[in-house]
Amino acid sequence: MIQLQMIDKTKSIAQNDKNISAVFMYGSFTKNEGDKYSDIEFYIFLKDKEKFSAENWVSQIHPLALYFTNEFGSEVAIFENMIRGEFHFLTNDQMEVIKSWDGLVEFSDFDKMILVDKEDLLTNTLKEIKTKVPDRTTNENILWLSQSLLNVLLTTSNLIKRQEFAHAYQSLSNVQKYLLWLIRIETYQTKHWESPTKSLENDIDPDWYSLFQQTTSELDPTDIKTAFKKTLTLTEKLFDNLGVEAKLKGVLRRIE
């Protein structure tokens, strides 16, 4: 697979670069889920960033078609072979950022994430991680997700009433994110939490998939209204199944 060759090339370049201390890989290839359509994704830790050219460094992996910084601050490479890469170049003293993810994100096996670690800085940082797989099914999380869902449901309802259907269409995608998180809790399928649509066809059973499908729409006023009504019905079902408090159910009934 080309991506695996590029990952090996990244590792080799980093090992031979005296300015690189560590490479931390994340994404599909650390979870045994990578395929020929997957991105390659890295945090690369430097001793000195002052005169460092990230674009020049990345171009050693494979010729670049495009290189830029996206809205999230990631440096994005689109290689000439049409494989995407995301890169974060940080100095060694910024490695502490990894500890801020503790309890928020799911870590893969550290052995698969540590690509290069010349001075054991990365290994020692990861030893301080207390929670590799956060519990997404806590009452506190269900409460927060339910509150957040009600918030975006009301926003979407108001947009439909105002007949801003393009805006409502976009807002529905926000609604669906929270719906999917609650569906994943209900169906004990929290594996792909950070990207709740990922592998959804395989993760949840056909009945739940069909219910979710009914909450999606075309950019058409009638279709959007129908999808929104189905969304309210599905939300009520999830609230009942997950034991959401009566106060929130009361708020849901007032949204139309």
CATH number at residue 180: 1.20.120.330
Check if the beta carbon of residue 182 is closer than 8 Å to that of residue 145: yes
Q: Which residue has the tokens 């590799």?
A: 132
Check if the beta carbon of residue 130 is closer than 8 Å to that of residue 101: no
Which residues, in sequence order, are CB contacts of 134 under 8 Å at separation 6+? 103, 104, 105, 106, 193
- Helix%, strand%, coil% for the chain, nearest 5: 50, 15, 35
State whether 109 and 166 are in the same domain: no
Q: What is the pTM of this model?
A: 0.85
State whether 243 and 155 are in the same domain: yes
In a domain, 220, yes or no: yes
State whether 248 and 149 are in the same domain: yes
Check if the beta carbon of residue 77 is closer than 8 Å to that of residue 54: no
Q: Taking the CA atoms of 130, 133, 138 and 140 in sequence, report the sign of the dihedral they define.
A: positive
State whether 52 and 164 are in the same domain: no
State whether 245 and 146 are in the same domain: yes
CATH number at residue 111: 3.30.460.10
- Closest by Cα among 101, 103, 109 to 138: 103
Give the model confidence (pLDDT) of 212-227 as tens digits: 999 999 999 999 999 9
Check if the beta carbon of residue 215 is closer than 8 Å to that of residue 179: yes
| pLDDT tens by residue, the chain, 256 residues | 999 999 999 999 999 999 999 999 999 999 899 999 999 999 999 999 888 999 999 999 999 999 999 999 999 999 999 999 999 999 999 999 999 999 888 888 899 999 999 999 999 999 999 988 899 999 999 999 999 999 999 999 999 999 999 999 999 999 999 999 999 999 999 989 888 999 899 999 999 999 999 999 999 999 999 999 999 999 999 999 999 999 999 999 999 8
How many structural domains compose the chain? 2
Q: Where are the beta strands (DSSP E) in the chain?
A: 20-26, 40-46, 64-69, 75-79, 84-91, 114-117
Hey, is 76 helix, strand or coil?
Answer: strand
Domain with 14, as residue range(s), is 2-126
Distance in angstroms (rounded) separating the CA atoms of residues 88 and 24: 10
State whether 24 and 120 are in the same domain: yes
In a domain, 131, yes or no: no
